[in-house]
């Protein structure tokens, strides 16, 4: 048994054991073609009895996937309630086995430049009748039941989306706030909110009541009412569109001054999660041409994952409106999908942007501002530990979890 902390030693051990073994089993969160090793893996691919690879955050390189399209032995985790994150490499030969387990994904970065730590174990190190090897194999086989093969259609779709996600991929390498000239703003600063557990994030959300007594409850009441609106259906079973709602309800969703009561009988604080009352042109569209807003909002699904292509189509349609702003667009997004989107306006943009290490987002160039919002705000939120944890069982916590991206606003809201 030994501890491995040098990438060169890790690469050597993997290559040496690949040559030694008859059978290879592995599971890794992400994979990419490792220089000098991937070719040898493909040469020995008959030895691969089982491989399970995650694709979360588009970290797995399409060139790796391409080599295993329609492969029944190397499969991929397409969907999961959390993040698929193991790194296990099991080599077998007759009755002997060798195991590498630790922090290293099957990626070029992990095997060349990252700081990784792994444990290398051989069957002779196991004093418990080879139970470590058997348990590792059992875990790997369980992963197989969650995985699927990539076919050509799925691959082409993944490859196209992966190409759009490169800024986000860089963010996982601490390249937050990288500009075209290569400079960064506070790129290496600890991102404590990213690393928070769900319990700590929830506690930070509740802390808003210290600024104003009952503000958290006011946020809850507003989101409950908006959620109720988005779940309404017509007599034919079709979900109502934004333009189908009465004017007062449209104004509530849009963040405009309106007197509507929540389920507690009190007037709702319509300005929480972004007040749009000063956006006069937006107000005019909400009142007079709400169908155009509906056309944009219908691009965003009511449940399930929100993909970049869907967001892009929303932006394309929303920008057809004159003098649109990021704040009005993101208010609508945060109300329809508060699990994915946060409203960005003058009351939170400075604190949020400073935390993310980017220039104030509302001051970004008009032609780039919507790309910056997705790449440098939403994509990063989806990387955070607290965003990816499982839905809690407690009723109040569960409600915050279901609206967790929108609630991120409460940590930066100035008023």
pLDDT at 66: 96
| Chain center to CA of 39 | 31
User: Which tens digit of pLDDT belongs to each residue from 180-238?
Assistant: 433 334 433 334 555 678 888 999 999 998 888 999 999 999 999 999 999 999 999 99
Q: Cα separation of 23 and 138, whole Å?
A: 15
- The percentage of the chain sitting over the pLDDT mark of 90, rounded to a whole number, equals 72
Q: Is 18 helix (H, G, I), strand (E, B) or coil?
A: helix
Question: What integer best gives the mean pLDDT of the chain?
Answer: 89
Whether the CA torsion 225, 201, 203, 359 is positive or negative: it is negative
pLDDT at 167: 53
Cβ pair 83, 388 in contact under 8 A:
yes
* pLDDT at 159 exceeding the cut of 90: no
User: Which tens digit of pLDDT belongs to each residue from 359-406?
Assistant: 899 999 988 999 999 998 998 888 788 898 889 999 999 999 999 999
Domains and CATH numbers, the chain: 2-164 (3.30.870.10), 171-411 (no CATH)
pLDDT band at 130 (very low <50, low <70, confident <90, very high): confident
105 by Cβ neighbours in 10 Å (0-12 / 13-18 / 19+) ranks as buried
Strand partners, 100: 89, 120
* pLDDT at 171 exceeding the cut of 60: no
Q: What is the largest CA-CA distance in the chain?
A: 77
Q: Is 125 helix (H, G, I), strand (E, B) or coil?
A: helix
pLDDT band at 58 (very low <50, low <70, confident <90, very high): confident
pLDDT at 200: 87
pLDDT at 413: 87
Q: Cα separation of 337 and 333, whole Å?
A: 6
pLDDT band at 152 (very low <50, low <70, confident <90, very high): very high
* pLDDT at 179 exceeding the cut of 70: no
Angle, to 10 degrees, between the axis of helix 290-297 and the axis of helix 280-288?
90
pLDDT at 176: 42
Q: Cα separation of 165 and 54, whole Å?
A: 16
**How many other CB atoms are found less than 10 A from the CB of residue 112?**
15
Q: Cα separation of 179 and 167, whole Å?
A: 10
**How many other CB atoms are found less than 10 A from the CB of residue 289?**
12
pLDDT band at 24 (very low <50, low <70, confident <90, very high): very high
- The percentage of the chain sitting over the pLDDT mark of 70, rounded to a whole number, equals 92
pLDDT at 338: 97
Q: How many helices (H) and strands (E) does the chain have?
A: 20, 7
List, in sequence order, the alpha helices (H) in 247-372. 247-254, 280-288, 290-297, 308-318, 326-336, 349-356, 369-372
User: Which tens digit of pLDDT belongs to each residue from 279-299?
Assistant: 999 999 999 999 999 999 999
Average pLDDT over residues 274-279: 92
């Amino acid at each position: 048994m030994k501890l491995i902390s040098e990438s060169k030693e890790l690469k050597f051990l993997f290559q040496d054991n690949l040559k030694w073994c008859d059978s290879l089993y592995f599971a890794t969160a992400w994979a990419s073609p490792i220089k000098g090793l991937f070719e040898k893996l493909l040469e020995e691919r008959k030895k691969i009895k089982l491989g399970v690879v995650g694709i979360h955050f588009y970290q797995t390189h399409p060139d790796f996937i391409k080599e295993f399209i329609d492969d029944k032995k190397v499969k991929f985790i397409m969907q999961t309630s959390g993040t698929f994150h193991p790194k296990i490499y099991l080599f077998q030969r007759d009755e002997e086995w060798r195991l590498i387990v630790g922090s290293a994904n099957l990626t070029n970065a992990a095997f060349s430049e990252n700081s990784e730590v792994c444990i290398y174990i051989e069957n002779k190190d196991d004093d418990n009748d080879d139970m470590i090897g058997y348990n590792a194999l059992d875990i790997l086989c369980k992963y197989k039941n969650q995985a699927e093969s990539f076919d050509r259609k799925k691959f082409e779709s993944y490859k196209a989306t992966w190409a759009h996600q490169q800024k986000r991929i860089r963010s996982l390498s601490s390249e937050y706030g990288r500009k075209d000239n290569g400079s960064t703003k506070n790129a290496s600063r600890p991102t404590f909110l990213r690393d928070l557990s769900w319990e700590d994030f929830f506690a930070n959300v509740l802390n808003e009541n210290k600024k104003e007594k009952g503000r958290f409850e006011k946020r809850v009441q507003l989101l409950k009412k908006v959620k109720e609106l988005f779940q309404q259906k017509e007599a034919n079973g079709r979900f109502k569109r934004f333009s189908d709602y009465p004017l007062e309800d449209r104004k509530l969703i849009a963040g405009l001054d309106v007197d509507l009561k929540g389920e507690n009988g009190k007037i709702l604080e319509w300005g929480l999660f972004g007040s749009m009352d000063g956006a006069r042109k937006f107000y005019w569209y909400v009142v007079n041409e709400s169908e155009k807003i509906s056309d944009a909002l219908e691009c965003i699904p009511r449940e399930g994952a929100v993909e970049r292509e869907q967001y892009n189509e929303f932006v394309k349609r929303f920008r057809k409106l004159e003098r649109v702003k990021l704040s009005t667009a993101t208010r609508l997004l945060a109300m329809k999908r508060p699990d994915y989107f946060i409203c960005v306006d003058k009351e939170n943009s400075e604190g949020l942007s400073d935390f993310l290490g980017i220039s104030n987002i509302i001051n970004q160039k008009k032609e780039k501002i919507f790309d910056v919002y997705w790449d440098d705000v939403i994509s990063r939120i989806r990387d955070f530990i607290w965003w990816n944890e499982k839905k809690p069982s407690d009723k109040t916590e569960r409600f915050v979890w279901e609206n967790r991206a929108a609630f991120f606003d409460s940590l930066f809201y100035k008023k």
